[in-house]
A and B are shown apart, each in its own frame.
Chain A
Amino acid sequence: MMVGPDLARIWRAQPLPPILQPHTALLVIDGDQLGAIDHIPPSYGLDVEEDRIAFAVRCDAAVDVLQKIVVACRSAGIMIVDSRSSDGRQDADIRVMGDVSPDLRLVRSGASFFASELGDQILRNVGIDTLFVAGLHSDGAVASTVRDAADRGYRTVVIADACVATSEDLHDHSLSMLRLWYAHISVSVDLLAALAVAKPSAA
């Protein structure tokens, strides 16, 4: 395996791009499903009970991280986008977004946020050029979104500890591939620190 326990340290070594609030958006991918881990679809392939429990624990941890990120983005004036693949569940929303209502909520039809042109058009109309991406799954919809974003010219920051895959191995390797070609990989503690500094200049 090319990645290991030092992953967080390696990722933290990568500097964040400058955060310009009017041009940055937080894309939460399938936060509704991340916050509803009591129902794990068979398609996730988590047939072993221990794997299901471990997955649920990682989802819970990511939800805790996302709640902080969402609050920090809102107070820094960063656009919050809730991208989901179905209408989702209300209680799951409350878990991930808390009291913060997203600036934009879009139901998408493919794995990638950019599978339809609508999302891309909206982001460009708003003037977004930098994306923070988090959610479910690191190797699935999150990776598709990040790969498309890079192809379409966005600067992308993946918040590593706010993304989850069905196994840690898939998560680690997927993020290492994104880092190799397509994205900055960051962790919430660094992003929150950067957002705290960005705060005073928020409109």
Chain B
Amino acid sequence: MRPSSGRSSERDAGLGEMALLCIDMQESQIFGLADRARRVGLEDVADRYAHEVRKVIDNLATLQARCRQAGLPVIHLKTMSYTDDGRDGSPLFRLYGAPEEGSTQPGSYNSPIIAEVGPVEGETVVGKICSGAFNGSELDLILRRMGIGSLLVCGLVTASCVENTVRGASDRGYNVLVVEDGCTDWTEANHRHSIAVMGKWFATITTTSDAAALIAEHSVP
């Protein structure tokens, strides 16, 4: 296997518009994962995760504001289920148990996206029934119809839903940029490893400040 071809910005010029992908900024991911860590006595993990998530939310809010200002699409992904008991989900998601409306528990499919980084009127929200958005959703079709060729990727959690989505995007020919401080994971090691692997094979790794500058360059007149 060779690394993703779409890594040079010169080569990618003209591939299509850029969009911001915000992955699973749901209550279940934000509060549920920290709660679960606390319940099994992993206070340190929970505290670190809550602290990192706070930074991710702030960075995402910045990038969303810049994109809206520049006229670039902000697309929200959420974990969800089409059936009441979640039986349509991937095996991993079925393990979590039945979804509860409005619950903050991990894997609660219909948990809402938090308001701070939630969709504003007219923005696209795409539901997915598994980790990677290019498997359990219509995301690929939606992006192609919108003429999107470049993806700025942020969200939760790095080594799972973010990484699966990045791998899928790279395989489908999108130019992928992962915002390093726009995502996090349960542990720093998981986050770092995932960022390293994505940077090695599938994506360009960037930061919130560099991405903000890039958004201005891509702004739609």
Contact = CB atoms under 8 A, between A and B. Distances in A.
Interface of A: 1-2, 30, 33, 41, 43, 45, 85, 109-112, 114-115, 136-137, 139-141, 143-144, 147-148, 150-153, 155, 170, 173-174, 177, 180-182
B36 to A, nearest CB: 14
A66 B131 CA distance: 29
B14 interface: no
A150 B172 contact: no
Contact of A115 (B92, B172, B189, B193): B172
Contacts of A153: 90-91
B187 A147 contact: no
Interface in B150-194: 159-160, 163-164, 167-168, 170-172, 187, 189-190, 193-194
Contacts of B2: 41, 43, 85
23 contacts: A1-B189, A2-B190, A43-B3, A85-B1, A111-B201, A112-B168, A115-B172, A137-B1, A139-B200, A140-B200, A143-B197, A147-B163, A150-B90, A150-B92, A151-B90, A151-B131, A151-B135, A151-B136, A152-B90, A174-B197, A181-B92, A181-B160, A182-B92
Nearest to A29: B1
Q: Range of interface residues on chain B?
A: 20 to 34
A156 to B, nearest CB: 9
> DSSP majority for the B interface?
helix
Contacts of B190: 2, 177
Nearest to A155: B91
